[in-house]
Amino acid sequence: MPVKKLTKKQENVVKNIMNHTYARISVSRYGVGTKCIKRIGKGVDPFVIAQKKCWDNEISIPWARIKGSKKLKDYITDYYPIDDDGNIFVNENGLNMMNISMFMNHSTRPNMVALDTSSCFTKFKTLRAISVGEELTIDYMDYDFNKEDAEYIKNYYK
């Protein structure tokens, strides 16, 4: 059976998969992390997206409005810290729209840095080349955490 001609959108996705897939969610010494599956050179953003459309905008929700079990609340705050005003910023489509970069663990000697967190897709770059099997890490202290969250992070990753 002949292969159908791809649409421009399909071509972009195929190119993205082939050229910009560098990591996957994997087991880490901290539970879950993001591991390199294809060597990444220095200065590369390993999380380039195929479509430039912002389909995962975040919205602010008062934490006090979140009802549910402790497990659910722990899950939410593992990825979306509560800011000093008592709000969390979550994907407008809910928790099931998280991207792989959200699974990077903290390191005081990271191999990744966030360049731009103001758009719907955070731009990252590698601080050095990263080998296959190596975990991608960032310094959580580069982000705007409240004091309680910052102290928790420092103690957890000792």
Residue spans of the domains in the chain: they are 10-52+101-139
In three-state secondary structure terms, 147 is helix
Q: How high is the pLDDT of residue 82?
A: 86
- Beta carbons of 126 and 46 less than 8 angstroms apart: yes
Question: Pairing between strand 105-106 and 135-138?
Answer: parallel
Query: And the tokens for 116?
Result: 């731009």
Q: What is the pLDDT of residue 22?
A: 92
* 10-52+101-139 has CATH 2.60.120.10 classification: no
Strands of 81-139 (E only): list them. Answer: 87-91, 105-106, 112-116, 123-126, 135-138
Beta-carbon contacts of residue 98 (< 8 Å; ≥ 6 apart):
79, 91
DSSP 8-class letter at 4 = P
Per-residue pLDDT of the chain (158 residues; tens, 9 = 90+): 676 787 887 788 778 888 888 999 899 988 899 999 999 999 999 988 776 666 556 778 888 888 777 877 887 887 778 888 888 887 776 776 668 888 999 999 999 998 876 666 788 999 999 999 999 999 988 876 666 776 777 777 66
